[in-house]
Amino acid sequence: MNLPQHHILVVDDELSMREVLEAMLVREGYQVSFAECGKKALEMISRERYDLLLCDIRLGDLTGLEVLRAAKKKEPETVVIMISAYATTKTAVEAMNSGAYDYVPKPFDNNELRHTIAKALELRTVEHEKKALNEEVRTKIHFGKIVGNSPNMLQIYRMIEQVAGARTNILITGESGTGKELIARAIHEKSNRSSHPFVTINCGGIPENLMESELFGHKKGAFTGATADKIGLFHEADKGTIFLDEIGELSLPLQVKLLRAVQEKVFKAVGDTKDISVDIRFISASNKTLEDEVIARRFREDLFSRLNVIELKVPPLRDRKEDLPLLAQHFLDKYSKEMGKEIAKVSSYAIDLLNRYDFPGNVRELENLMERSVALSNTNIILPDSLAMSTHKRRWIEGTGEERFDLDAVESGVNLTEILSKIERSYLKKAMEYANGNKKKAAKLLGLGYRSMWHRIDKFENLENNG
């Protein structure tokens, strides 16, 4: 089926031929324009984009080959079909070498010409879609510095595109090591603030007694050791983006001061009475469930509401295992280059081994593993034996014990609450299995009272069904 949006330019110095082609092409649903000479054609090509050119070889002023070359130079994807009553092998070869799709002699059969045009435009559409798909795949595999093309990550990419242009504050949640800062940077780089600063503040990494000064700055003499005025990070981020990493670690007194800055974009330097106004977008991140922190009164509800206008939940690596080969190869390439090694790939057997491990430390743990493996490798391919995996990881993969956690993951950061919850659930399930579903007996096996047993079981949905 021909598509009306295809625009064809007919270049022919014979009025009768232009009229014949107009009647045929309009009937087929194409949009048609005409040029009666080569110079007119070049002028039209310079001003507008055409999907296909039907061009005579002999024109009054220029040759059709000159028009062909100009059209392909201006828009390489333009399809050009040459037509001529003076067809020769030499001109046909020259036209094809210059990028013509076909060479049709006059007089032509209308049905054959229609078929040639339709096939040419179909091929053009297929090539265009293929190019767009390749670009889409490239973008989806490497969205900025983020690697992955799993459904979970494609959803993240779509969200980044949607929220980047807004002024709205964003909360990025997810386990440690999932790449929350990379996502924050991608949002900043896609926004209209990209030419201004992106300032990262690790709320858990700065001592509390220094945090206020770091955030807001201080005046000389504001406290012991304040020997000069200091510009705070909020001031440095003016017109840009502040990334508050691990926001859940911020103390309640500092949360109060942060609230005003978030609400009003105004703050005071320590020891100063003058307000400083800034234009900042806030992106926060937490591996804690801030709703639970609010309930426990460890995090202010009003601040949470201000920061959590839009939430992006980053999936753990175990929920996006499709990305593991891409990530492993990405880190292999990165560290091979840094260490001056020529290691080409991660073997499929090594990938299979990695896929059987849940990576509690997520992408950061995988990166650390690949860095160690590259450093210790003596071959040009990473084999299972080349993976620098600890005994804990090997036991996990081989299923040789009940222990389903990795002490070495502490190096990359872990969520202890979640790990303890998993351990508790595992013991409850195992006790229920040994007790054949008898809760009193299971409670006795675990050294728990019956009421405590009920309470713990209530924490985990479908425990009995999943046991």
Structural element, H or E, at residue 415 = none
Q: What pLDDT digit, counting tens, does each position of 369-402 carry?
A: 999 999 988 878 888 877 877 655 655 565 544 4
Main-chain dihedrals φ then ψ at residue 70, nearest 5 degrees? -65, -40
Alpha-carbon dihedral sign for residues 301, 303, 309, 310: negative
Band of residue 87 on the pLDDT scale cut at 50, 70, 90: low
Please report the pLDDT score of residue 236 as a whole number. 93
Mean pLDDT computed over every residue of the chain? 84
Query: Among positive and negative, which fits the CA dihedral 210, 216, 217, 222?
Result: negative
Two structure tokens written together for 460: 């985990």
Pick the CATH number of 146-313 from 3.40.30.10, 3.40.50.300, 3.40.50.720, 3.30.420.40: 3.40.50.300
Buried b (16+ CB within 10 A) or exposed e, 197-218: ebbbbebeebeeeebbbbbbbb
240 pLDDT tier (thresholds 50, 70, 90): very high
SS3 143: strand
Residue 77 has which token pair? 């994807």
pLDDT of 130 above 90: no
What are the tens digits of pLDDT across the range 63-76? 889 999 999 888 88
Residue 281's pLDDT band (boundaries 50, 70, 90)?
A: very high
Closest by alpha carbon to 241, among 188, 176, 318, 164?
188
Helices (H), 220-295: 233-236, 252-264, 290-295
Residue carrying the six token digits 């210790």? 376
- Here the contacts of 304-308 (C-beta below 8 Å, separation 24 or greater) are 306/169, 306/259, 306/262, 306/263, 307/169, 307/171, 307/244, 307/247, 307/262, 307/282, 308/169, 308/171, 308/284
Q: Do domains 7-134 and 146-313 have the same CATH topology?
A: yes
CATH class given for the domain over 416-466: mainly alpha
* pLDDT value of residue 463: 45
CA–CA dist 406, 317 (Å, integer): 15
Least confident range from 89-93, 195-199, 255-259, 269-273: namely 89-93
Write down the pLDDT at residue 465: 45
Instruction: Report pLDDT for 193.
Output: 94
Predicted confidence at residue 384, as pLDDT, reads 80
* pLDDT number for residue 1: 39
Supply the pLDDT for residue 135.
Answer: 54
pLDDT range class, residue 466, cuts 50, 70, 90? very low
CATH superfamily for 7-134 is: Response regulator (3.40.50.2300)
Q: Does residue 313 register a pLDDT over 70?
A: yes
Counting residues of the chain whose pLDDT is more than 70, the rounded percentage is 87
DSSP assigned state of 314: P
What is the assigned CATH class of domain 319-412? mainly alpha
> How far apart (Å, rounded) are the C-alpha atoms in residues 306 and 310?
10
Give the per-residue pLDDT at 299.
95
Q: Above 70 in pLDDT, residue 411? A: no
Max avg pLDDT among 1-15, 190-204, 425-439: 190-204
pLDDT at 283: 97
Query: DSSP string spanning 56-120?
Result: ESB-SSSBHHHHHHHHHHH-TT-EEEEEESS--HHHHHHHHHTT-SEEEESS--HHHHHHHHHHH
Please determine, for residue 34, whether its predicted confidence score (pLDDT) is greater than 80. Answer: yes
Highest-confidence range of 59-68, 87-96, 164-173, 400-409, by mean pLDDT? 164-173
pLDDT band at 410 (very low <50, low <70, confident <90, very high): low
- Encoding tokens for residue 20? 């014949």
pTM for this entry: 0.58
In percent, the amount of the chain with pLDDT more than 90 equals: 39
- Longest CA pairwise span in the chain (Å): 102
Domain boundaries, the chain: 7-134, 146-313, 319-412, 416-466
332 pLDDT band, cuts 50/70/90, is very high
- Strand (E) or helix (H) holding 128: helix 110-141
Residue 276, CA atoms < 13 Å, CB-side half-sphere? 22
Instruction: Kindly state the average pLDDT of the residues 406-424.
Output: 69
Phi/psi for 271 (5° steps) reads 85, 5
